[in-house]
A and B are shown apart, each in its own frame.
Chain A
Amino acid sequence: MTKHELAWDKMKQMDRFTVTDVANAVEMDLEECRKSIKRLEKSGYLEIVSGIGVAGRPYFYRVKPEVTTTPQFGRGGTSGLKKVRSGMNGQQLIWNALRINRKLTVGTAEAVTKLNSRTIYRYLNDLEKAGYVKCQRHDRVGSNFDRTGVQNIWKLIRETGPKAPILRRGKGFWDQNEDKFYSLDGGKTVGGRTDEVA
């Protein structure tokens, strides 16, 4: 059992507690304990019952009465991390489909990736802005493909390798194969790993 899990057990036993109470009870580093409690609060397991969070008047927390599940500790313990991982995986599946098929519709991509059509559409659209694919459009609005029966076709024009370009929303793509950053305005290359835009 990790210190974080021990701390969670202790929190469940106490009616209300401060960060210091828990840190002392399980002999945990104070700042580490603060991070753990903040994370649990953000995930909806804990709530603040009193205090303003300053020296002398620290926050008092309690475990929310309606909580019946145990939080996940370790890697993937926060929803934020999970989100990023599944997104990355989804992008890889779309990229695989593009590489194998070379031409792709949202419908085909949906069938072979099991991803939401909106997610696929957004990723393909951004790939187009960065110059990875070219879209042969049959309709004015991307979302009405289901009504017209004719789908837009995205054709892969820059195949850089097996790893999917990572979308940095609003900025561009980090290409893991070439170690280059392609911006969304036509795929202008910003440079190698050292010149990467933060």
Chain B
Amino acid sequence: MKNKTVEVKNVTRTQEMFENLSSRSMITPGIGLIHGPSGFGKTTTVTYMFNELTVSGQQPLYVRCYATDTPSSFLARVMGELGAQPMFPLRKMVDYVVQAMNERSLALFVDEADHIVSQAKTMETIRDLYDSTEQPVVLIGMEEIARRISHRKQLFNRISEWVEFAPADIEDVHLFATDLMDDRVQVGEDLLDFIRQKSGGEVRRILIALEKIERAALASGETFVDLHSWGNRPLFLNHRR
């Protein structure tokens, strides 16, 4: 299998989301939300996009949240990203971060935002940072975050772009197969659809299945594998979820 990021729909939508946030008009709010269950390629996509931004000279600030976070610890992490020590009282840190984000046009990525979504003060701090800088802020979390954030009207209203990581469809699975598998191996549409169904559209499971097929085909010299020729050989550890 080749190691590369395949630009399936979830990836292109995430890239579009950030482009839209960066090039939005003055009247459009600039908070983005990336959410979805684990295993759908969220982290890989975020890393890929983060690196693309780094290469273009716009490395954003990246903060990972923890369940024990408070406004103080959250701001201290952002300060760490800026290479600065925490300051007290908290407003000094807010001022410092706002100034740095404005001066250097820095976007802010907040990963594992589920942990702080129920903490009014931390969420309000993020909203303050956004309101004072108008730099793109991207919140990243699991599937439940969208529902939970909808209760925070002030913040929810500022989310102009969102990407819900959806299960891979047949086009995506096809793209994974053509982009990642050895050129000597072709996989039939019926087997690809079988993989999509049994994996529940989870990228990790799809890749495991494709790798199994590729290895088996290369070992046996097969150039085309479909559902019939694959037979009942196992593809996944467990078919039921």
Contact = CB atoms under 8 A, between A and B. Distances in A.
Contacts of A112: 5, 44, 47-48, 51
B43 interface: yes
A100 B43 contact: yes
20 contacts: A89-B54, A96-B51, A96-B54, A100-B50, A100-B111, A101-B43, A107-B1, A108-B3, A110-B4, A111-B3, A111-B4, A111-B5, A112-B5, A112-B51, A114-B4, A117-B3, A149-B215, A161-B80, A162-B59, A162-B81
Interface in B8-41: none
Given A100-B111, A107-B3, 12 more contacts: A92-B59, A96-B54, A97-B51, A100-B43, A100-B47, A106-B3, A108-B44, A113-B51, A149-B211, A161-B83, A162-B59, A162-B62
B166 to A, nearest CB: 20
A162 B107 CA distance: 14
B46 interface: yes
A93 interface: yes
Interface residues of B, number: 23
Interface string A146-190: 000100000000000111000000000000010000000000000
Contacts of B47: 96-97, 100-101, 112
A41 B211 CA distance: 50
B55 interface: yes
Nearest to B57: A89
A87 to B, nearest CB: 14
Contacts of A114: 4
A93 B51 contact: yes
B153 to A, nearest CB: 30
A162 B43 contact: no
Interface size bracket, A side: 20 to 34
Interface in B178-235: 211, 215
Interface of A: 89, 92-93, 96-97, 99-101, 106-108, 110-114, 117, 149, 161-163, 177
Contacts of B215: 149
Contacts of B5: 111-112
B61 interface: yes
Contacts of A161: 80-81, 83
A97 B81 CA distance: 15
A98 to B, nearest CB: 9
B12 to A, nearest CB: 16
A89 B54 CA distance: 8
Given A99-B62, A100-B62, A117-B3, A111 B50 contact: no
A99 to B, nearest CB: 7
Interface in B56-96: 59, 61-62, 64, 80-81, 83
Contacts of A163: 83
A89 to B, nearest CB: 7
B155 to A, nearest CB: 23
Per CB-CB distance, the 10 closest pairs between chain A and chain B, nearest first, are A110-B3, A107-B3, A112-B47, A100-B47, A112-B48, A93-B51, A111-B3, A111-B5, A97-B47, A111-B4
